[in-house]
Amino acid sequence: MQKDIDAGNVKPGQYFVLKFDFSEVRPNPNLTEANETLIKFLNSSLEKFYGTYAAYLGRNFADLCQKIDSKEPNISLRWCAQSVQDAIKHDGRLAGIEGIYMLVDEYDAFANHYLELQQTTREPKIDWDGTAVGFTFKSFWSTVKSLSGDGLIQRIFITGISTLSLSNVGSGFNILSNVSFNAALSDLCGLTDSDVESALKNIDMDPVERNSSDFEMMLHFNGYHFCNTKQVTSVFCTETCLAYFHRLIQKEVPDLEDPPNSEISEDFLRIFASSAPAIADFEKASKCGIDGVFVPIEYKNFKAQLTLRDLVC
């Protein structure tokens, strides 16, 4: 990944990094209030951006924030992108900067709370369809797509818990490449053996206990394989490993039976648990062959992304 701009040390190939972490947006059943929360979140992310890069954008922080639209954050985003392009064009210090690199974490964390469970064969939908919060969300992603097409946003990197298609829940944002199973990135979503070993060495414990902990973690937290074209080294679940390390540091017995996990929207889990395709896959994966080994799910049958219709078909 290209590096963020280092203040006072601008180098070619760097970017202005604009970050949005949707896990920070607290869902609200009141869609009017949910819209207000979403707008504040999007605009506050732009404020953080200005706080970081104001010195490079030809204006002070207060002046930049004056351009933030309190009702339509997509307008705020467009003005932000245009400000960056203007700064690069007119400031010789920024000659090597390529533009904006946009990082979006847990893009689905907010939207998953508004999935509507359909009991009929009608097309599933988002509860906010036709509402202000739905318009705000869709406008945001439509603007991201537009700015990317115009070259104002050079790169976009998006992560999420599920592979629910943005073109389905947000807008026609269909310009992405899914790299979830790219061999070169297979260890991006977990810890490697060397990561775990290095962490254990930094914890004050007896060598015998350290070896025992290494074995326990390998047994309970390893085995994640993020490549569908060839066999690659499996990785450990980062979150459960961090919880395990924390218990070791506190001189407590790690919880192996029921480790903490990421919180996923109950609405999404309800829909997923009632999905016939998902149930069939889980039933197959829970069966053992004659050798006692679990039957693997064939990667070729995995979808690169889901639509709401996929969950009920």
Give the pLDDT of residue 279.
78
Q: What is the mean pLDDT of residues 112-129?
A: 64
- Is 89 within a domain? yes
Residues 41, 171: one domain?
A: yes
- Give me the domain span that covers residue 187: 180-262
Question: What digits encode the pLDDT tens for the residues 82-98?
Answer: 999 999 998 888 888 88
Q: How many domains does the chain have?
A: 2
Which residue, among 194, 294, 286, 291, has the nearest Cα to 241 in the 3D structure? 194
- Is 196 within a domain? yes
Residues 158, 205: one domain?
A: no
Residues 20, 151: one domain?
A: yes
Give the C-alpha separation, 292 to 137, whole Å: 47
Please give the structure tokens belonging to residue 241: 């490993």
Residues 140, 224: one domain?
A: no
- Is 295 within a domain? no
- Is 127 within a domain? yes
Residues 81, 24: one domain?
A: yes
- Is 4 within a domain? no
Planar angle of CA 154, 155, 161, nearest 5 degrees = 155
Give the pLDDT of residue 92.
85
Residues 38, 133: one domain?
A: yes
Q: Name the residue with higher pLDDT: 220 or 122.
A: 220
Lowest-confidence pick of 4-8, 112-116, 151-155: 4-8
Residues 185, 77: one domain?
A: no
Give the C-alpha separation, 179 to 7, whole Å: 31
Final residue belonging to a domain, choices 176, 200, 235: 176
Give the pLDDT of residue 177.
79
Residues 24, 71: one domain?
A: yes
Give the pLDDT of residue 168.
61
Q: Give the pLDDT band (50/70/90) at residue 199.
A: very high
- Is 202 within a domain? yes
Query: How does the average pLDDT of the chain come out, rounded?
Result: 82
Residues 126, 223: one domain?
A: no
